[in-house]
Amino acid sequence: MDDQLHNAAVLTGDLVDSSKAGQAATDLALDSIRSTLSRVESWFGNGPGYFTRMRGDGWQFIVHNPLYTLRASLLVFAELGSDRDLPQTRISIGLDGVTALDRSNLSASSGPAFINSGQTLDAMTKADRFAIAGTTATVLHRAVVALVEEQIGHWTPEQAEAVALYLTPEDPTLKDIGQTLGISTQAAHSRVTGAGGQALRQAVKYWEDQRDLVPC
């Protein structure tokens, strides 16, 4: 097994009100999640990643390096939130590593990260959107997750679209975002600021600088 998986994290999620959205929208949402998370993994040299769809509207994904779990989760929320026709998702981050991996079906894999992620998702209420569990998750990690959960609940599709660009590792400027979206720099600033984008970018940087999530 890949040595990197010793400290890997698992994201487990399910879509919110997917039955109301319909099968086509559900499929598009899950495709968006898979694409977004694979892109995050490739940014940091970990390849396309491992994704499994389960229980109809449920899903799991392995993040090789747990330091990138916040960025990955935020980008999933932002990409889905930018399309008002797609159902949203809940996400549970599970830490502490993977011990056995079935690349074709993550539900057949095992390890503390799978247990922590799955059990925490099961314990979440319908109103909950974001959670984290594991021995390496500190009080500060949980506080950040709680604040992010509150913030994403207020995004408009336009704000989510801007955040999805703003949180990429290239750190695009507001001018860059405006040009990509075909809007003015001032309008880009309004969308990013309204979404709490600057604070979220800073939170991501602090999260990725903290080595607490990766035990020695």
Q: What is the pLDDT of residues 145-165, one digit of tens each?
A: 999 999 999 999 999 999 999
Per-residue confidence band for 193, with pLDDT thresholds at 50, 70 and 90:
very high
Residue 151: the pLDDT is 96
Tokens 């600021």: give the residue: 193
CB-CB contact of 71 with 1 (8 Å)? no
CA distance 121 to 91: 7
Strand partners, 130: 91
Name which of 157, 141, 114, 123 is nearest 210 in CA terms: 141
Q: How many CB atoms lie within 10 A of CB 53?
A: 18
Residue 216: the pLDDT is 44
CA distance 9 to 11: 7
Average pLDDT on 154-178 reads 98
74/46: higher pLDDT: 74
Average pLDDT on 56-76 reads 95
pLDDT at 127 over 80: yes
CB-CB contact of 213 with 132 (8 Å)? no
Instruction: Supply the mean pLDDT for the chain.
Output: 91
CATH fold for domain 3-153: Alpha-Beta Plaits (3.30.70)
pLDDT at 214 over 70: no
What are the structure tokens assigned to 41, written together? Answer: 């993994």
Apex CA 42: angle with CA 23 and CA 82, to 5°? 40
Q: What percent of the chain has pLDDT over 70?
A: 92
204/105: higher pLDDT: 204
What are the structure tokens assigned to 21, written together? Answer: 């959205």
CA distance 29 to 15: 8
Domain ranges of the chain: 3-153
CB-CB contact of 25 with 85 (8 Å)? yes
Residue 3: the pLDDT is 55
Residue 147: the pLDDT is 96
1/204: higher pLDDT: 204
Q: What percent of the chain has pLDDT over 90?
A: 78
